[in-house]
Structure formats: structure tokens, C-alpha cells
Chains A and B, each alone.
Chain A
Amino acid sequence: MSILARWEHFEHAADIGVRGIGASKAEAFAQAALALSALITDPALIEPRQEVDISCTESNEELLLVDWLNALIFEIATRKMLFGAFEVQLDGPHLRARVLGEPIQIDKHQPAVEIKGATYTELKVCRDASGTWVAQCVVDV
């Protein structure tokens, strides 16, 4: 049975969790990033008009997920952009990604929140018995 790549949000008392699910760890990381964008706006509204490269290195795969999401949060904050498409490559401790998006437009995107940071709460990167990868953590908004 093929594994459908998808994302979810999950509950946290004050904030919210992002969860990426995929056939590979890289796919789960990409879906977790999409879940992050979906906290701010409907990802379908984000056009892939500009491209940004992101890379991070961290030997612990859970800490790498947090580094990846925090790198995205940094790009959103400093470029004032939103991203809706993510091509993630994982090679041992190295993550390289090409992310596509466009500058934030208040009327179009109606951004709901500004994300402060990805946290270590409910942080998990794992593969279940069926081979599905899950990458998740709570983000502070």
C-alpha cells in the first residue's frame, strides 16, 4: 500500500503542533514544513514565485527537524515571505532544501499568526511498522 504524504495539526494547550507524514523521512520533513505554513494561511494561496535555499546540519534527527523548522521561521520573518512548496533532501546529518513561495500580502493571505519558534515539546521523528515516517513538534505562536 502506498503511503500518502500529508500534514496535520495537533493540540497543545497554549499553542499548536505540526505533524508531517510521508513515505520517507525527507517527505515527512517537507510535510511538517507545509503544516507550519498552514498555521499562517491556506497553503493553496501561496504561489511559488520565488525560490530560497536552506541547509542545516545536525546529527540528531529530532534536533534536525527543529533546526529545519526554525530555519524556515527565520526566512519567513526576515524575507517577509510565505512558502508553500518544499523539496527536501536528507543526507546523513545534512539537510538541503529548495523552498518556494512569495512575499506576504495581508489582503491575500490574511496571516493568522506570527510563529515565534519550533520547540522540543512533543518532538518526534520516527517510522512506524508500516514504514510511514512521522516528523512532529509543537510550535510557539
Chain B
Amino acid sequence: MDITRLKQQSATEWRIEAHGNMRVPGIIYASEELIKGMDEKVYQQVAQVAALPGIVKASYAMPDAHWGYGFPIGGVAAFDPELGGVVSGGGVGFDISCGVRTLHTRLTAEQVLARQEALADTLSASIPAGLGSTGALRLRHREMDAMLKGGARWAVEQGYGQPADLERIEERGCMVGADPEQVSEQAKQRQRDEMGTLGSGNHYLEVQKVVEVYAPEIAEALGIHLEDIKVSIHCGSRGLGHQIGTDYLKRMVVEASRYGINLPDRELACAPLTSDLGRRYLGAMRAGINCALANRQILTHLARQAFARIFPEAHLELLYDVSHNTCKQETHLVDSQPRTLYVHRKGATRAFGPGYPDLPKALHDVGQPVLIGGTMGTASYILVGIAQSMELAFGSACHGAGRAMSRRQATRQWHGREIQEELTRRGICIRSPSPRGVAEEAPGAYKDVSAVVEATETAGLARRVARLEPLICIKG
């Protein structure tokens, strides 16, 4: 990105002054180096989002921002329904509520390394991954609707996991306001046999080792210690979420002119929050969030069963579960006044600071954990929201490394088997049905996750707690 078009506010805050039809400024949080590596399209997309009706304060981009659909990936924007604010299908994305959850294991690195291959094989056999894989569960009409209304709470009621898990999930595991009637039959059909599946692309299940602790007190409060073994699951709302995205993006494109919305890019398709279409999308999108929460809950159950076969003493308690692609109704202070806003986070993580009412009791004084997935060969990070993050970007932080290279470039540069062999040499077991899929997700195809996380901390969006490195990666 051409840095001369931005006004530098601090080492990690860059401003696009409101110009043209922008209603608010654009603010990009990133180091100079990360900004220089960003696509020009990020500038354009941040500016276009700033022109949408009812946007409040600013159109934000996180340090891992890259070219997305209408909204940049790593984009955050809040809209006020009383000011004609909108909800955007592109602002949530195709993989509704894609997210990460991390589990403790009470195992040490030494224990896991002794049985690493066996654990990788067992997990790989237990977790359906990749195109064409199906889960053991088949949901018929009534059960599908119950799942879409209940989310992870429904999954726990069906015997997948424990009630204690729900405390550690955003929305206590169940997004209110979900309306299964607004979800098309095609979307439900796509999901019929996909519950408890990982998907493909950048989705994974990893067994990770804690290699560095930055904030010992917070780490202690979260139950994180050096050499601990954690499990992280990255996936979303599967075919159902993809189809909701497809269905509503089309409706919003076709109906935009009816609401007097001029779209410079079709992907910005949106509808007023108070319109019939806006309300229908919110009902469907919330059902998609519940689908993702239920899916990660079922995968957690499968992971617990797999661990129990190798390590009967393992105890996989949920540390936290975060969602990346959402639009949520939240109360935020704007000019010292509390306002009800609809916050879009497209490839961004909620990062509420300590004391926020939505946090469970155990995390009240700590802040919301922010779980950042890296790549197969690098590292993942655990951060927490801080008070300052509430003022900066409606309590939001980055979500991952962000791609530095397209999938096509990656497959030209690497072969899946070479990547797998290289990672094996470094002590990381990869299990995947597709060597090409592994090449497309090569660690070198991503930005430096550490630089993204450092910029996130410097900007005051969240605070680093710990760094984790993979020992086993199950990829779709």
C-alpha cells in the first residue's frame, strides 16, 4: 500500500481522511512494514465501507488485513440502526462464525512427544476433514432447526461435551435471535451430513505446545504454563454458512437499489438493519453462528474421544471459543454515550476488555481471550482484550497471519509432500487428505504471524499472553 496516502497517527495507527463519499475516516492498525505489504485494495475497501449508510466512528482494518469481498478481511465496522445503518452479507463473509477454540489437555510436551505419531493417526481417523467427508450425525428437519436455534448448547444437550464448556464460548454457546425459517432448504441440505466436520482450506485441528509466556499473571488466570499441551480447532459453519452467504448476498445485490443504496462494488451488498431483508439476514446469520458453535462443540467431543484412546488421563477443558466472521449487536460508548450498534467483524476477533458484562465470571477481571491461529509451520498466539481495545475498534483485534501469497503462487512455489517432509524434520506431524491442499497452505504463503501480533499489541488492541507451536496438524 502506498504509505503517502495515509496520515500516520502513531507507530501503529494510520488514517485515511474522509474524502469523496466517505462518511467517516478509515483507520488501519499496523506497523509500517505491514502497511507496506498490504494490497492497495485494502485502502479502497476500507474507504468504501466508510461510505456505507449509518457507519459509526470509523471503518477499521486490523494488522492482518488483506483484500476481501467488499469489506477487507480484517475489517471492523459498526452501524447504528437509528441512523439508517446497514447489515452486510459481505461484511460477515461466506464462512459465518468461522473461529478458533482452544482446549487444555493437562498433558505435558514430554508425554505427547512419546506418542506423537499414534495421537496424530488417531486424531486423523476421528476427525472428518476435506472435501466430501461427512460426519456421523444426520440431521433431519426438526433436529436441524433445533441445532440452528441452540448452537453449542444444543450440542451439549445431545451429549457432545459438558455444560461447563458453554461458559467459555462467546454468547455462552447460543446466539439469541437465530431464525431457522430464514435459512433456505438448500442451506439445510448442504449441512445435513456435515455436522462435526472440519472442512478444508485453512481449517485445522492442531496439538500445540506452549513455548513462551509473555504475561505470567494473565497466563496463570487462563491456565496456561510453559510446555503445556493445548488443542486448537479452526473451522466454521460449513456448507450451511456458505449457502446462507450465497443466498443473501444475491438478495442484497438485487434489492440494494430498492433501499436507495448505491453499491460501488457488488460485494458491499447490504440492507438497512430495520428492513425486512436486513432482519431476515440477521435471523439466518445468527442461525449460521449457532451452526458453527455446534460444529466446533461436536469436533471437541471427537477430539476428547481420540485423546482418551491414547491418553486416558487427558482432560480437555475449554479455554475459550472465538468467532471471526460475525455481525453482533453490542453496546459501545460513542462520545461517552452508550449506543446499540451492529458490529461487523470480517476476519477480526472480538477482544473485550476486563469487566465487560458478556464475559464469564472467571474471565471478568482478565478480559476476553483472543485466539490467533498461525500456519502449520509457525506459531499460534493467545492474547486478551484490554480496556483500551474497547475505545480503539469496538473491542476488536486481528484474527490470524493473513495470506501474503495467493493459492496459485503457493502451488507454483511448493509441493505438498516437500512441505510435509520439511515439517516432519522439524518435529511437526501433518495429516491431510490432499498434498495440494498442504502446498496451498504452506507456511511461507502467509504473513509473519508474530509481526501481526506484535502490531496488535503495540496498537493497544489486545495484549500478548502466550505463544504456541504445533506438534500435530490435522488439515482438511
Interface set of A (CB-CB < 8 Å, partner B):
9-16, 40, 63, 66-67, 70, 73-74, 76-78, 80, 103-104, 106, 110-114, 116-121, 123, 138, 140-141
Contacts and interface: CB of A to CB of B under 8 A. Distances in A.
Contacts of A12: 67, 406
Nearest to B39: A13
Nearest to B263: A120
Q: Chain A: interface secondary structure? A: mixed
A72 B239 CA distance: 13
B476 to A, nearest CB: 7
A116 B201 CA distance: 10
Interface of B: 39, 41, 66-69, 73, 93-95, 130-132, 134, 186, 189-190, 192, 199-201, 239, 242-243, 245-246, 249-250, 253-254, 265-267, 269, 403, 406-409, 433-437, 440, 476
Contacts, number: 116
Contacts of B200: 111-114, 141
A70 B246 contact: yes
Contacts of A112: 200, 434, 436-437, 440
5 contacts: A9-B408, A70-B246, A74-B190, A78-B192, A110-B436
A116 B249 contact: no
A26 B216 CA distance: 62
A10 B436 CA distance: 17
Contacts of A10: 408
B407 A77 contact: no
Contacts of B93: 140
Nearest to A11: B406
Among all A-B residue pairs, the 4 with the closest Cβ atoms: A104-B132, A120-B266, A112-B436, A111-B131
B267 A121 contact: yes
Contacts of A141: 200-201, 407
Nearest to A42: B436
B95 to A, nearest CB: 6
User: Which residue among B68, B239, B246 has the maximum number of chain A CB atoms within 10 Å of its CB?
Assistant: B246
Given A112-B437, A113-B200, A123-B266, A80 B134 contact: yes
Nearest to A112: B436
B246 A117 contact: yes
Contacts of A77: 190, 239, 242
A11 to B, nearest CB: 5
Contacts of B192: 78
